[in-house]
Amino acid sequence: MNPWRQVALLAKREFLERVRSKPFIITMSLLVVAILAIGPVISMISGGADEVTKVGLAGEELPGIEQELYDQAILFDIEIEVERFPTRAEAETTLTDGRVAVVLVDGTEIVFHTSGSSQLTALVHNAVDTTLKTEALTELGLSENEIALVVEPVPVEVTTLEEQNAQDEVKRGAAFVGAIFLYISIIMFGQFVAMGTVEEKQNRVVEVILSRVRPWQVLVGKVVGIGLIGLLQLVMFSGAAYISAQFADLPDIDVAAIGLPVIASLLFWFVLGYTFYAFLYAAVGSTVSRQEDLQGALMIPIALILPGYLLAIFAAEDPDALLPTVASWLPPWAPFVMPVRIAAGVAQPWEIVVAVVGTVLGAIALVWIGSRVYSGALLRTGGKISLREAWKAAAE
């Protein structure tokens, strides 16, 4: 029988037994629903902020002020609605309730609830100014065109030297969220591998399995089967996030242009990073005989992964700094740091090649080391054996 067919059977068992389990189905469904809900929620919240600004008029009203307020609002790029109040007192009550942003009293006083907005002050002030000047100039007998020449603002072009690029900001943010997802996924599925290994040792089922297949087959089957669940979960989560983002109602953001590369990068680095760490997790898992002893052994992979995560945060802040730059080349941390630097647009092509090749080579080395420790440790039950002992036992 082809050994890879056996590996496939082992992987299939790992995959199906977990995917079919009720806790997994429930957790996945809840999380997917939660992610799907984020977009519409964001849309609702930001929609609230976009509401029309209400401007109140109280007391004596300047003729034509309402039209002028609307005209000014267009210039200021704000949407307003004018509301009239018979008395100042009523206007103030509404102002205190927050239903009106600003009130113009008697055409001479601008009232805010708390500290005023300079933008609204300027808007209302301009409206009053223009209305009064128009009236005065009309009385002086100037034609409409002449008046417009005096009171209408001269168009001035506005130029910014550096475009505030919302797209880039969001892209880096998405890459960073991706790094967190990656970190959580690698730890979570790495632990599944370690726990599955200990479980088989603790149940003694390992001897039944090993009478049929070689240790490396068990190891590869387990890593592949659990890794496929990890991929499935990431695909479902990022798919849900992508759909969710479509409903988030984000202006100026091209969701596809940001989302698809980030998702592709997440899946790619998950495969590399998970492969690298899963074999390490299996090796340390095989050295203990009981779940209770596992926590201590798991410190080894955690000690490697955690710096990667912290460096990814660092890289998100300052992608060009020396530490994240060097870390992004090295196998244990490249999967966490490099995607963030790529998203920031600072990673050179050669750096990406170094990171990918290094991680692949590192993963191959860990497959070899991990398999050997695993073989040596698997049938040693009762207590914990050191990685060194397991390594030597495999040679016997």
As measured in angstroms, the least distance from the Cβ of 280 to another protein is 24
Rule CB under 8 A: choose which of 205, 256, 306, 353 binds another protein. Answer: 205
Stretch binding another protein (CB under 8 A), from 4-12, 148-156, 278-286, 325-333: 4-12
In the DSSP assignment, the letter for residue 87 is S
Q: Which of 39, 81, 64, 332 lies closest to 183, judged by CA?
A: 332
As measured in angstroms, the least distance from the Cβ of 320 to another protein is 50
The span from the first CA to the last CA of the chain, in angstroms, equals 26
Per rule CB under 8 A, is residue 194 in the interface with another protein? no
Stretch binding another protein (CB under 8 A), from 67-75, 114-122, 198-206, 237-245: 198-206
**Residue 163 CB neighbours (<10 A):** 8
Q: Which residues in 11-70 contact another protein (CB under 8 A)?
A: 13, 17
As measured in angstroms, the least distance from the Cβ of 1 to another protein is 4
Cα–Cα distance list, 48 to 41, 42, 52, 245, 291 (Å): 11, 10, 9, 18, 50
Per rule CB under 8 A, is residue 228 in the interface with another protein? no
What's the rounded Cα separation, in Å, for the pair 138 and 303? 79
**Residue 260 CB neighbours (<10 A):** 12
**Residue 102 CB neighbours (<10 A):** 22
Rule CB under 8 A: choose which of 88, 113, 125, 214 binds another protein. Answer: 214
What's the rounded Cα separation, in Å, for the pair 119 and 383? 72
Contact pattern for another protein over residues 149 through 188, marking x by CB under 8 A:
----------------------------------------
Q: Tally the C-alpha atoms within 13 A of residue 73's C-alpha that lie toward its C-beta.
A: 15
Cα–chain center distance at 214 = 41
Stretch binding another protein (CB under 8 A), from 54-62, 172-180, 211-219, 315-323: 211-219
Per rule CB under 8 A, is residue 208 in the interface with another protein? yes
Per rule CB under 8 A, is residue 286 in the interface with another protein? no
What's the rounded Cα separation, in Å, for the pair 222 and 196? 8
As measured in angstroms, the least distance from the Cβ of 14 to another protein is 11
Per rule CB under 8 A, is residue 203 in the interface with another protein? yes
Q: How many residues bind another protein (CB under 8 A)?
A: 22
Per rule CB under 8 A, is residue 210 in the interface with another protein? yes
DSSP 293-305: GHHHHHHHHHHHH
Per rule CB under 8 A, is residue 388 in the interface with another protein? no
Cα–Cα distance list, 257 to 174, 219, 253, 263, 274 (Å): 11, 38, 9, 11, 26
As measured in angstroms, the least distance from the Cβ of 200 to another protein is 8
Contacts with another protein, residue ranges (CB under 8 A): 1, 3, 6, 9-10, 13, 17, 203-214, 379, 381, 396
